[in-house]
Chain A
């Protein structure tokens, strides 16, 4: 009886969830497994020779690469499979976590915010049934993704790979994803709405990512303290350790247990963090769409500004280590002389900055696109309905959202670069001048604006297809961050405006690229504004 009280009709809810989410799940599964399998297949042709493998291993051992991809723990002889395991696992892990967090938020707080859960719980449905249905959904998705990863790696059959190594990667990634799904379910009980849950979940991921970066660079053994870093400890294609997988399962079960406990105790629609009372009058500042968006999204904007600043600063904390060629090769100092050595060091760091710039730009694009698409979601949630019944023109509302998206994108990029600059200033003997960062900023902003403008066009003309903007951003990340590694052809990199940007600060800033990007932005914005003015708004 007690069990029915808690779990009645879970099966029905599971069916409903899958019926509603199958498209979303399918896209995630296809993209993730496709990404992993494609890269694995490509690895053989890039790192086929021993010489190329030795070269990449040397690169991967550098602190800069360690901070990006995780500690390099493989022992010689270096096979393609070992290189793959070091380079790809952390990268794919990020996406696994993002997928699980997104799904977990939608299935718990998302439904609760929409009032769906109230309707469901009014029926003969157990108190824990919705949570349980969410758990099943997450478990099934991770099992499928893990299974396909394993099969994909088997098919790709990298030189040096064996079934044991393939499956420890596949199961490890699935276990990591699942446990982060459970962490998110726990976080969902603490906050009282979906956006709060999302924000707190990303904060947890961000802290763990930075923590593992610092421990990997300083002392990889300390990475055992960071759950996100456990995935690096599977030691694929070598000792094939299953302990981290056990840790993930244990962590997941603990989080789930606490989440279930909290969920069964709390009121529907409430969280552990009690909502504060608001003002009885609007401040003089809250005047119209521009300030309204700020009032709505200031938490998000500030969080991304701080987040990217911290990310930039933590990347820069390894500048002094990587920018010290002489450390690994004392002969160089005598060969080059002090001033030439300093110049060579700077080139190494600038090379690193060129890669980091892409990360910073993508991180900046996330809140920018999010704010841009909020124009449609606010409309569909009905928040804008009454705004349009007042003397506020559509053009003004559209321009406010677009403007905030662009300003936020630029701001977050700038804060990341400032964080990098300040940390470099503090930690390096011969710091990189602020002009370098300024050039990075100038080089990427016009390309970023084109992407935001295209997202704006989608809100005006094809609101149903607005999520294409995300696909484009993630493709940009994929093509630039991994483009060199997997030898992506030039045209494929140029499918996003980011692909046209010179490798600033290694190469000079190209003003001609900037000008046509800006011109294109203006053109696209005009089209977007016309579209938004013309279309029917959601009912």
Chain B
């Protein structure tokens, strides 16, 4: 992996009239990396992607892909990009097959064997008019066109929200194949298992700000480990220790469940072992926990609200 990022976003801002949709978006994607972009509804995921595509014009900061400005050089950039939007609207009187070919041609590509293979794998009927497609089928049209494009960066905005589990699996396989070919992917998603399975690094956006970026491992370090523990001796001071949260009594003597900040884990474990362990289970934080931690409204935001 080289150190030169493929996509670089710095202090990106976007305002619609009085509404500040993006306050400070900051992240980078490196070659060969799958970057997960997660955040609650209305946090600014799609707005960020639209700025990256040159559909919206940034109000501040800068964004570059392949080292070129996303607004000024959009056409140059788009030659090496494939994109699947979250909501897909297709010309009602064209068939799916026609639309796939059109999207390929607009990027200077052709209908290849791979396109046919993808149509087969996703089980799309290409002769139906787009008017009659369901949401999942419209998504398949866009996915097939994007996946059969030979691009350097693939941008997927919640691509699987209408797909059945089988097609979702097909999509994940295809993305992993892209990764093996050294392509970069920006994946915005709500399906955390999908992000967890595929992404190398994750960025969490909330209220128009990137609040966290890093690998899943790095993020886990930032959050709490859940511990279910039973000891021989009572542990009265446990709740007062630094970094201990949400302690609850469980059935059985001296059996508790608690969450510990990762940086206080050593101290807490030392305290527990000194009280003679009977059983101990630790659960690493899941992406859900991370997600909840950043999403829940009572969490103070960075601007101190």
Of B75, B97, B142, the residue contacting A279 (CB under 8 A) is B97
Of B78, B101, B142, the residue contacting A392 (CB under 8 A) is B78
Give chain A residues whose Cβ lies under 8 Å from the Cβ of B85: 382, 385-386, 389
Interface: A391 (CB within 8 A): yes
Separation of A113 and B92 alpha carbons in the complex (Å): 10
Interface size class of B (residues with CB under 8 A): 35 or more
CB <8 Å contact, A282 and B101: yes
Give chain B residues whose Cβ lies under 8 Å from the Cβ of A387: 106
CB <8 Å contact, B105 and A278: no
CB <8 Å contact, B78 and A286: no
Interface: B57 (CB within 8 A): yes
Minimum distance in angstroms from B101 CB to a CB of chain A: 3
CB <8 Å contact, A391 and B107: yes
CB <8 Å contact, A383 and B91: yes
Contact A381/B89 with A278-B94, A279-B95, A386-B83 known, Cβ cut-off 8 Å: yes
Interface: A100 (CB within 8 A): no
Of the 9-residue stretches B24-32, B121-129, B286-294, which lies at the interface with chain A? B121-129
Separation of A382 and B90 alpha carbons in the complex (Å): 8
Separation of A537 and B85 alpha carbons in the complex (Å): 14
Interface: B275 (CB within 8 A): no
CB <8 Å contact, A278 and B79: no
CB <8 Å contact, B102 and A292: yes
Interface: B241 (CB within 8 A): no
CB <8 Å contact, A278 and B103: no
Minimum distance in angstroms from A113 CB to a CB of chain B: 8
CB <8 Å contact, A383 and B102: no
Most B Cβ at <10 Å: residue of A382, A387, A389: A389
Interface: A534 (CB within 8 A): yes
**Nearest CB to that of A537 among chain B residues?**
B55
Contact A193/B92 with A278-B127, A386-B103 known, Cβ cut-off 8 Å: yes
Separation of A535 and B71 alpha carbons in the complex (Å): 11
Give chain A residues whose Cβ lies under 8 Å from the Cβ of B127: 277-280
Most A Cβ at <10 Å: residue of B83, B106, B131: B106
Contact A287/B95 with A281-B111, A389-B53, A536-B55 known, Cβ cut-off 8 Å: no
Minimum distance in angstroms from A289 CB to a CB of chain B: 8
CB <8 Å contact, B128 and A385: no
CB <8 Å contact, B95 and A280: yes
Give chain B residues whose Cβ lies under 8 Å from the Cβ of A383: 89-91
CB <8 Å contact, A389 and B81: yes
CB <8 Å contact, B78 and A391: yes
CB <8 Å contact, A391 and B56: no
Interface: B218 (CB within 8 A): no
Interface: B273 (CB within 8 A): no
**Among residues 482 to 539 in chain A, which have CB atoms less than 8 Å away from a CB atom of chain B?**
534-537, 539
Of B54, B106, B155, the residue contacting A288 (CB under 8 A) is B106
Give chain B residues whose Cβ lies under 8 Å from the Cβ of A280: 95, 97, 126-127
Minimum distance in angstroms from A111 CB to a CB of chain B: 15
**Nearest CB to that of A295 among chain B residues?**
B94
Interface: B87 (CB within 8 A): yes
Contact A278/B90 with A388-B53, A389-B78 known, Cβ cut-off 8 Å: no
Interface: A393 (CB within 8 A): yes
Separation of A381 and B91 alpha carbons in the complex (Å): 9
Interface: B181 (CB within 8 A): no
Interface: B169 (CB within 8 A): no
Interface: A390 (CB within 8 A): yes
Minimum distance in angstroms from B171 CB to a CB of chain A: 17
Minimum distance in angstroms from A466 CB to a CB of chain B: 19
CB <8 Å contact, A385 and B98: no
CB <8 Å contact, B128 and A393: no
**Among residues 322 to 358 in chain A, which have CB atoms less than 8 Å away from a CB atom of chain B?**
none
Separation of A246 and B102 alpha carbons in the complex (Å): 53
Interface: A275 (CB within 8 A): yes
Interface: A433 (CB within 8 A): no
CB <8 Å contact, B105 and A286: yes
Give chain A residues whose Cβ lies under 8 Å from the Cβ of B90: 383
Give chain A residues whose Cβ lies under 8 Å from the Cβ of B57: 534-536
Contact A391/B92 with A280-B127, A281-B98, A286-B101 known, Cβ cut-off 8 Å: no
Interface: B50 (CB within 8 A): yes
Give chain B residues whose Cβ lies under 8 Å from the Cβ of A389: 53, 55, 78, 81, 83, 85, 155
CB <8 Å contact, B98 and A278: yes
Separation of A390 and B55 alpha carbons in the complex (Å): 11
Separation of A389 and B149 alpha carbons in the complex (Å): 13
**Among residues 103 to 128 in chain A, which have CB atoms less than 8 Å away from a CB atom of chain B?**
113
CB <8 Å contact, A277 and B94: no
Interface: B132 (CB within 8 A): yes
Separation of A277 and B97 alpha carbons in the complex (Å): 11
Of B75, B81, B89, B105, the residue contacting A382 (CB under 8 A) is B89
CB <8 Å contact, B95 and A296: no
Minimum distance in angstroms from B118 CB to a CB of chain A: 14
**Among residues 281 to 339 in chain A, which have CB atoms less than 8 Å away from a CB atom of chain B?**
281-282, 286-288, 292, 295-296
Give chain B residues whose Cβ lies under 8 Å from the Cβ of A288: 105-106
Contact A390/B78 with A280-B126, A385-B85, A539-B50 known, Cβ cut-off 8 Å: yes
Give chain A residues whose Cβ lies under 8 Å from the Cβ of B83: 386, 389-390
Separation of A279 and B100 alpha carbons in the complex (Å): 11
Of A113, A276, A388, the residue contacting B54 (CB under 8 A) is A388
Minimum distance in angstroms from B16 CB to a CB of chain A: 8
Interface: B165 (CB within 8 A): no
**Among residues 232 to 289 in chain A, which have CB atoms less than 8 Å away from a CB atom of chain B?**
275-282, 286-288
Minimum distance in angstroms from B126 CB to a CB of chain A: 5
**Among residues 23 to 68 in chain B, which have CB atoms less than 8 Å away from a CB atom of chain A?**
46, 50, 53-57
Give chain B residues whose Cβ lies under 8 Å from the Cβ of A537: 50, 55-56
Give chain A residues whose Cβ lies under 8 Å from the Cβ of B155: 389
Minimum distance in angstroms from B245 CB to a CB of chain A: 40
CB <8 Å contact, A281 and B128: no
CB <8 Å contact, B91 and A390: no
CB <8 Å contact, A382 and B102: no
Of A275, A295, A388, the residue contacting B132 (CB under 8 A) is A275
**Nearest CB to that of B95 among chain A residues?**
A278
Give chain B residues whose Cβ lies under 8 Å from the Cβ of A391: 75-76, 78-79, 106-108
**Nearest CB to that of B101 among chain A residues?**
A282
Nearest first, the 3 A-B pairs at minimum CB distance are A278-B95, A382-B89, A282-B101
Could you give 9 example pairs across A and B, Cβ below 8 Å? Answer: A193-B131, A278-B127, A280-B126, A281-B126, A382-B85, A383-B91, A388-B55, A390-B103, A536-B55
Could you list which residues of chain B lie within 8 angstroms of chain A, going by C-beta atoms? 46, 50, 53-57, 74-76, 78-79, 81, 83, 85, 87-103, 105-108, 111, 126-129, 131-132, 142, 155
Could you list which residues of chain A lie within 8 angstroms of chain B, going by C-beta atoms? 113, 192-193, 275-282, 286-288, 292, 295-296, 381-383, 385-393, 534-537, 539
**17 extra interface residue pairs, beta carbon distance < 8 Å, beyond A296-B93, A388-B78:** A113-B92, A275-B131, A276-B129, A278-B96, A278-B97, A279-B95, A282-B97, A282-B99, A282-B102, A286-B101, A295-B98, A296-B91, A388-B54, A389-B78, A391-B75, A391-B108, A392-B106
